[in-house]
Amino acid sequence: MMMRQCLLGLFLVCFQPRSGSFISLNSRTDVVELQTAGITALIADTTSVAYLTGHFNPAQHPDFVRIDREYCSRENAFLRREAYIAFKNMVVEAKKSGIRLTILSATRNFSDQKKIWSNKWVALKQKEMKGVIRMSNIERARYILRFSSMPGTSRHHWGTDIDLNSLKNVYFLSGEGKKVYQWLQVNATKFGFCQPYTSKATGRTGYEEEKWHWSYRPLSDGFTLAAGNKLKDEMLKDFPGSEFASEIKMIKLYMLGISSDCLQLTENK
Ligand SMILES: [Zn+2]
């Protein structure tokens, strides 16, 4: 097979131009063929469970770069290098149409996600103690899961996913936000980005729609595939409610409950 370009990182990616957009999975060899936007990538699936579940510090990871404040609403935000370059290219193009794109959140490791999850868990418990609401433990987990991942299952762990401009869908329904969303729907794919959490009307499972969340497919497709292969609900632990991961089917229904714009799987058996 002709290799045009190879990137050596946590896993090996070799590109060969070809049309189509799908993933062939050969679980016997642990080598997968990814086709994204006309590019075929052969991936030796050596991505570790520790990486996939966010057990690392992006500030110290060689494949991550700090996002300039020009592009981000906060200090100390990180992305994988290729995703950051693609995002900056997209910003340049968007500006030509008067569209402003600002990253609100990028990489979040396990401990970042655990803080988000635990804060929501505790806040709901406090409301329950005051008699404002009543929820069983699993109902509480499902309520948080409308928009927040269990630690260890977030796509934000991977350095490929970003939240843009507003964390409210309503922002994207009118005015400036509507223009931003329409621009992204037409143009983001040219830069490798897709929206994983689209409307659930098509039967997509898991998280509610998030018009702000975009994923850099040339990298995230491989991590999605590796996550589907390697992560099990029983591995999720060390946060409140983790004992419900299996009953909720976290990996299958949530982690893999993404739009077909972001991933189409075919299996070679
Ligand atoms: Zn997000």
DSSP structure string for 90-157: HHHHHHHTT----EEE----HHHHHHHHHHHHHHHHHHHHTTS----HHHHHHHHTTT-PPTT--GGG
Residue 44 within any structural domain of the chain:
no
Residue 6 within any structural domain of the chain:
no
Q: What is the DSSP string of 52-91?
A: HTT-S-GGG-TTEEEPPGGGBSSSS-EEEHHHHHHHHHHH
96 C-alpha to center of ligand 1: Å? 25
Residue 28 within any structural domain of the chain:
no
CA atoms within 13 A on the CB side of 86: 23
25 C-alpha to center of ligand 1: Å? 26
Give the domain range for residue 144: 49-261
- pLDDT value, residue 263: 81
Q: And the tokens for 95?
A: 């500006």
154 C-alpha to center of ligand 1: Å? 8
Integer-rounded Cα radius of gyration of the chain: 19
208 C-alpha to center of ligand 1: Å? 11
- pLDDT tens by residue, the chain, 269 residues: 333 333 333 333 333 333 333 444 444 334 555 555 555 555 445 589 999 999 999 999 999 999 999 999 999 999 999 999 999 999 999 999 999 999 999 999 999 999 999 999 999 999 999 998 999 999 999 999 999 999 999 999 999 999 999 999 999 999 999 999 999 999 999 999 999 999 999 899 999 999 999 999 999 999 999 999 999 999 999 999 999 999 999 999 999 999 999 986 544 43
Work out the angle between the directed axes of helices 81-96 and 175-187 (0-180°, nearest 10): 120
Q: And the tokens for 256?
A: 């893999």
Residue 13 within any structural domain of the chain:
no
Residue 23 within any structural domain of the chain:
no
Residue 96 within any structural domain of the chain:
yes
217 C-alpha to center of ligand 1: Å? 14
163 C-alpha to center of ligand 1: Å? 5
**Owner of token pair 């899961």:** 145
- pLDDT value, residue 19: 32
Backbone angles phi, psi at 122, to 5 degrees: -65, -40
196 C-alpha to center of ligand 1: Å? 9
Q: Which helix (H) or strand (E) holds 233?
A: none
Domain count, the chain: 1
Distance CA 121, CA 129 (A): 12
Residue 201 within any structural domain of the chain:
yes
41 C-alpha to center of ligand 1: Å? 25
15 C-alpha to center of ligand 1: Å? 28
- pLDDT value, residue 269: 36
What is the CATH classification number for the domain harbouring 148? 3.30.1380.10
| The one-letter amino acid at 169 | N
